[in-house]
Structure 1
Amino acid sequence: MTIEHDVPATMRDGVVLRADVYRPTADGPWPVLLARLPYGKNQPMLAGLMDPVGRARRGFLVVVQDTRGRYASDGEWEPWTYEMDDGYDTVRWAAALPGSNGSVGMFGPSYLGNTQWMAALAKPPELKAISPMVTWSEPDDGLFARGGAQELGITVPWSLMQGVDTLLRRYAGDPMAQGQALMALVGDTDAVAHTTYWELPAGHHPVFERHGIPELGFERSRREPEWSDSCRVAGRQAEIDLPSLHTGGWYDIFSQGTLDNFTAMRAAGRPANLIMGPWSHTGTMGYLGDVNFGMAASTELLGFRGRFADLELGWLRRWLSPGDEPSQPELPPVLLFVMGTNQWREEQEWPLARAVDTDLFLRAGNRLAFDAPETEEETGAFTYDSADPVPTTGGALLMSNEFPPGPLDQAKIEARPDVLLYTTDPLADDLEVTGRVRAHLTAATDAPTTDWVVRLCDVDTRGVSRNVVDGIVRAVATPGEFTEQVVDLWSTSYVFRAGHRIRVHVTSSNFPRWDRNLNTGEPLGTQSRPARQVIAHDASRLSRVVLPVVPAPAEGRA
């Protein structure tokens, strides 16, 4: 294998992007694997994740490129804006490299996953397959926002971290100014949990203007809604006539996007495979949050099917070198890790047709029951104060290190007076929930706008409550009027074991994961007011959580 560093590729507007090229020395030609990233193609952690050396040793010509305005590449850094055109030009360039067989596949997680989708939408003829991992579908459902609330948890630290390279380039000729700028940026990054997240207005965050750096895209998408198409996949999958391998985690910030992209590609009749593990955005081993899912849950074993890296390469080779002898078994259409029983299961579809939407009703007396109320029942109420929001504690998130993802003990959250709790009796039998979870609240507030946050939890036989899925909706309200608020909690595959109890939280904040609603209706306000929140749960004003219950015994084998 040989490595060429900073190989130039000229884009249609003359800007030069640079890539490292890993080429087998044996006789080719070789199928090409392309990854495009803004994080620095030589960053050790990413190099280990992408393993270009290992991929080249397996008989691929591997190209890892810095995107426009980042590290070795020229141009101005704007997140997302140029990835479609630059992706198209880069695929065509990579296909023509010496040693290439003319077929290009793309791979990589998160931003790298979106560069694949954008290139695929541009339709370079040499692109034959994509393998996006932990990436989104609709940017307003996980990247920029969720349920109308800003994804502040990722926006602030991500933008600050990308600002380091921006400042290094901006002050390259002035070491003193460079050092001062970097010290200020690092100071705000280090203080993110205690200071920076709290700055107002969140929708036009002062930290980005203070350092003169691009933000993730929430603010720009509000100023220029059409610009969001530069990273939007949702509604456009049918334009792409390519096979795709979708890999995600139940506790990843983009978990629902992974599922939505797979579902849309299958609906369009495209070859597609799905793998969903008990993983976060960056953690793919067997332990997450408070829970040990077992070694077989990791990407190193996948239930003893083999390493994910090997399975992915085998999948890519089928599409890029169809005449080659396959070295890995065929992947099933869907491979799910079912939490609770902690087993992998092969399926033929997503969502599962055999799952039955089942109502769990919020009842007076903190009860959660499968039977609906038949009479009037006392409402639940709490006061939400944005100066003292409910702190983020676990979940499908990507934030600063003070806020780890995954299933975590919710005891401190459940002790707060601004969190309503509804709990079932102990379950007589195992209950599997696999699919999308939604809450329908009949709710009222005395504010012109407020947020509703719902969380589904598993309470074990020792009384420890851990989060499974959650969601938020930002509502415009007529004070005092009861309306139905639908909260999308996204999807899971989880077995609540016999003897456990199911619990639902209802509150109005999850900060700093999502920005605080100040309850005033001012989109860029800095002043707040408390809100009195009321949840109804009687025969004429139902509040419920809808669970996709898979009847026992579940089909398939681990």
Structure 2
Amino acid sequence: MPVRPRETVSMFTRDGIQLDADVYRPQGEGSYPVLLMRQPYGRAIASTVVYAHPRWYAAQGYIVVIQDVRGRGTSKGSFYPFRHEVEDGFDAVNWAAALPGSNGVVGMYGFSYQGMTQLYAASTRPSALKAICPAMLPYDLYADAAYPGGAFAFYNNLSWALQLETEGARLRGDANAYQALLKAARNLPLYDPIPLKPGVLQQYAPQSYYFDWLEHSEPDEYWRKLSPRLEVVDLPMLHIAGWFDSYLSGSLRLYKEMSARSQNPQYLIIGPWIHLPWGRKVGALDFGPEAVSPIDRLQVRWFDQFLKGKDTGILQEPPVRLFEMGSNRWRGFDAWPTPEPKAFYLHSTGLAALSEAEGSLRPEPSPTQQSDTFVHDPWRPVPALGGHLVQPAGPQERSALDCRTDVLTYTTPPLQAELVLVGDIAVEVYAEADSPSFDLCAVLSVVRPDGQVYNFSQGYCRLRDPQPGTPILIPCQPTCIRIPCGHALRLSLSAACFPAYPVNTGTGMREERLIEARILTITLHSGGETSSRLHLPMA
């Protein structure tokens, strides 16, 4: 249906702060449900990096409201990520429900920060809010955004802080700060004396939330107060995620929590996508026409079902829809798959760091202990390549990286039958180092017959004074993948993934300085009583 010209309207929060929004209305007479998005990046963008423009949604029979959160865009007040979104979200939902032409029913959509604003608003249980579509979000801000695996997500967090602070400088008209922060955002300052505290942020944004995130390096009260609390919330939710998204753990954490207790439908869809965009070409691979985002039409069906009361047929479809990489098709499930994990054990000649032929993955453990020793040099840390926490993200060809002598590789023989993995993955290893602290990065890849290697899952952990002989568990990104006959599965282990995570200096100190970084010697054990293994969700 035709859509009226965009109009800009304002509301006032309970403490008198003006929040501005763009409103898109259908041309026709009558009343309509409202779709609300609350975001911090300038409302004209309206998350069109992944979604259809708000005019398209309005043409489907909705009043669409795209609002600048407090202190962003043209909204007044001071911005601190997530801090004001509970009260402001509640006020915004009630205001949107009372707009002229509204029928009093509200739904919310959006990804990343815009996904989180849905949860904060929902936590207050405004009566007008009937359904939401949270996408790609860090539900637990500590574990899913700031410190996944106990290590600071350096690249993501620094990039985001510089983006927010650059825009903050522009909004307050500080040209010097804007230029300095913009330059840093386009060429990340990764090598300052204290890498996690770049001088440009200390000089031009000393009050940034970023320094609070650094200060609270453990899951303390700060994070408990900042993360959304949904214990008493029960709404229909369409959960949207991507296999290579940086916040896949958060989306799944939310889905699993809600599906375990909710009386309302909880649907989950996971595509092969990175954080943005959501298309068929992800990283270095083309996942085919079925990987083109179906999300816009799916969201309209969801909202038609729960805001308009239409029978769209969506409730007769499987509630879990996963894109299977390899076959490049969608598969439906009645619930999140939880197959009994199958162990693949690490075997080695002791030279798994020197040649891909020296380490193997087998379904049975070795009766005798074997060890692989490698050296982590902070001067040349193993670089991040693809995955979910750096750009360019997604699957990348990493055969050259696996040839490094500070990367251990363990590979199955060419598969005699196709291997289907659906669900959660974990790596369990026995390792030790000559320092109080060290990191371990695990990457799972498919090895093609021509020798090309493409990653599909990754995990990371930071260890401080680990007890010798105690297994180390590295949770990895869940997956849904079909590996063909003749291909092989590989596990690569290293002590760095820079700059996705900062280089571990090995000192065990909270504030790590580059000048203090040590060369680390790390030994990984397999076989016997120290049977390091890979836990796979074989379907």
TM-score, normalising length from structure 2? 0.93
Q: How does 1:384-399 map to 2 (within 5 A)?
A: 384-397=376-389, 399=390
Q: Distance in 2 between matches of 1:199 and 1:32?
A: 47
Q: Which residue of 2 aligns with 1:214?
A: 208
Structure 2 counterpart SS, 1:486 = strand
Amino acid at match of 2:136: V
Query: 2:155 corresponds to which letter in structure 1?
Result: G
Aligned equivalent of 1:502, options 462, 484, 489: 489
CA contact (8 A) 1:392 1:510 kept: yes
Q: Secondary structure at the match of 1:198?
A: coil
SS at match of 1:147: helix
- Per the alignment, residue 325 of structure 2 pairs with 339
Q: State the alpha-carbon separation in 1 of the partners of residues 17 and 5 from structure 2.
A: 23
- Counting aligned pairs with the same residue, the percent is 31
**Residues 150 and 218, structure 1, Cα contact 8 Å, conserved in 2:** no
Q: CA deviation at 1:330?
A: 5.1
Structure 1 unaligned regions, length at least 5: 172-177, 300-306, 551-558
Instruction: Confirm whether residue 312 of structure 1 aligns to residue 299 of structure 2.
Output: yes
Contact 1:118/1:230 (CA < 8 Å) preserved in 2? no
- Determine whether 1:540 maps to 2:529: yes
Distance in 1, matches of 2:194 and 2:15, equals: 37
- How far off is 1:48 after superposition? 7.4
Paired residue secondary structure (1:163) = helix
Q: What is the letter of the counterpart of residue 250 of structure 1?
A: W
1:226 pairs with 2:217 = no
CA distance in 2, matches of 1:429, 1:127: 49
> Is this contact kept in 1: 2:340–2:538, CA < 8 A?
yes
Partner of 1:530: 519
Paired residue for 1:357? 341
After superposing the two structures, state which structure 1 stretch, 537-546 or 327-336, moved more: 327-336
Query: Distance between the aligned counterparts of 1:242 and 1:329, measured in 2?
Result: 15
Provide closer, same or farther for how the CA distance between residues 220 and 5 of structure 1 changes in structure 2, counting only shifts above 3 A.
Answer: farther
Q: What is the Cα deviation at residue 362 of structure 1? A: 0.8
| 2:505 paired residue among 501, 518, 524 | 518
Candidates 227, 233, 254, aligned match of 1:261: 254
1:304 corresponds to = none
Residue by residue over 1:344-365, the C-alpha shift from the partner in whole angstroms, topping out at 9 and shown as x without a partner, is 1111110x24x23100111113
Distance of 1:223 and 1:205 partners within structure 2: 21
Compared CA separation, residues 532 and 411, structure 1 to 2 (3 A): same
Q: Distance in 2 between matches of 1:471 and 1:237?
A: 27
Partners of 2:244 and 2:388 within 8 A in 1: yes
Equivalent residue number for residue 302 of structure 1: none
CA contact (8 A) 2:194 2:512 kept: yes
Deviation at 1:293, TM superposition (A): 0.9
Q: Would the aligned equivalents of 1:82 and 1:230 in 2 still touch at CA under 8 Å?
A: no
Answer yes or no: is the 8 Å Cα contact 2:242–2:272 preserved in 1: yes
Corresponding residue for 2:137?
135
Cross-structure match for 2:192:
199
Q: Against the structure 1 CA distance between its residues 62 and 120, is the aligned structure 2 distance closer, same or farther, given a 3 Å change threshold?
A: same
Alignment match, 1:11 = 13
Q: Which residue of 1 aligns with 2:355?
A: none
Deviations 1:246-284 (A, max 9, x none): 111101111122122112111013311111111110021
Q: Is the 8 A contact 1:6 1:72 kept in 2?
A: no
Q: Tell me: CA distance 1:462–1:181, structure 2 relative to 1, closer, same or farther (3 Å).
A: same
Cα distance in 2 between the residues matched to 1:11 and 1:104: 18
Residue 356 of structure 2 aligns with which residue? none
Question: How far apart, CA to CA, are the structure 2 residues paired with 1:22 and 1:502?
Answer: 50
Does residue 1:466 correspond to 2:454, yes or no?
A: yes
d(CA) in 2 for partners of 1:428 and 1:138?
41
- Partner Cα distance (1:456, 1:517) in 2: 22
> Secondary structure of the equivalent of 2:471?
strand
1:242 aligned onto 2:250: no
CA distance in 1, matches of 2:110, 2:47: 13
Q: Is the contact made by 2:50 and 2:277 (CA closer than 8 Å) also made in structure 1?
A: no
Question: CA–CA distance in 1 between the matches of 2:484 and 2:221?
Answer: 46
* TM-score (normalizing by structure 1): 0.90
Cα RMSD for the two superposed structures: 2.0
Give the distance between the partners of 2:92 and 2:364, measured in 1 at CA: 58
The aligned counterpart of 2:270 is 276
Output the amino acid matched with 1:309: D
Cα separation, 2, equivalents of 1:329 and 1:144:
35
Q: Which moved more, 1:267-276 or 1:61-70?
A: 267-276
Contact 1:114 1:231 (C-alpha < 8 Å) held by counterparts: no
1:428 is aligned to 2:416: yes
Whichever residue aligns with residue 188 of structure 1, its letter is A
Q: Is the 8 A contact 2:344 2:535 kept in 1?
A: yes
Structure 2: how far apart are the matches of 1:100 and 1:292? 42
Secondary structure, aligned partner of 1:518: coil
Deviation at 1:371, TM superposition (A): 0.8
Shift of 1:537: 0.6
CA contact (8 A) 1:152 1:202 kept: no
Q: How far apart in 2 are the matches of 1:48 and 1:450? A: 37
Distance in 1, Cα, partners of 2:36 & 2:408:
49
Find out whether 1:285 has 2:279 as its counterpart.
Answer: yes
TM-aligned CA deviation for residue 137 of structure 1: 2.1
**More displaced stretch, 196-205 vs 126-135:** 196-205
Please tell me whether the aligned partners of residues 83 and 230 of structure 1 are also in contact (alpha carbons under 8 angstroms).
no
Residues 142, 219 of structure 2: 8 Å contact kept: no
Aligned partner letter, 1:370: P
Q: Which residue of 2 aligns with 1:413?
A: 401
- Please tell me whether the aligned partners of residues 439 and 461 of structure 2 are also in contact (alpha carbons under 8 angstroms): yes
CA distance in 2, matches of 1:318, 1:478: 51
Q: Which residue of 2 aligns with 1:181?
A: 177
1:42-191 matches, cutoff 5 A: 42-43=44-45, 46=48, 49-171=51-173, 178-191=174-187
Distance 2:47 2:95 in 1: 27
CA separation of 1:48 and 1:25: change in aligned 2, threshold 3 A: farther
Is the deviation greater in 466-475 or in 213-222? 213-222
Give the Cα–Cα distance (whole angstroms) in 1 for the partners of residues 521 and 147 of structure 2.
25
The answer to which of 108-117 and 264-273 deviates more is 264-273
Report the 3-state secondary structure (helix = DSSP H, G, I; strand = E; otherwise coil) of the residue aligned with 1:510. Answer: coil
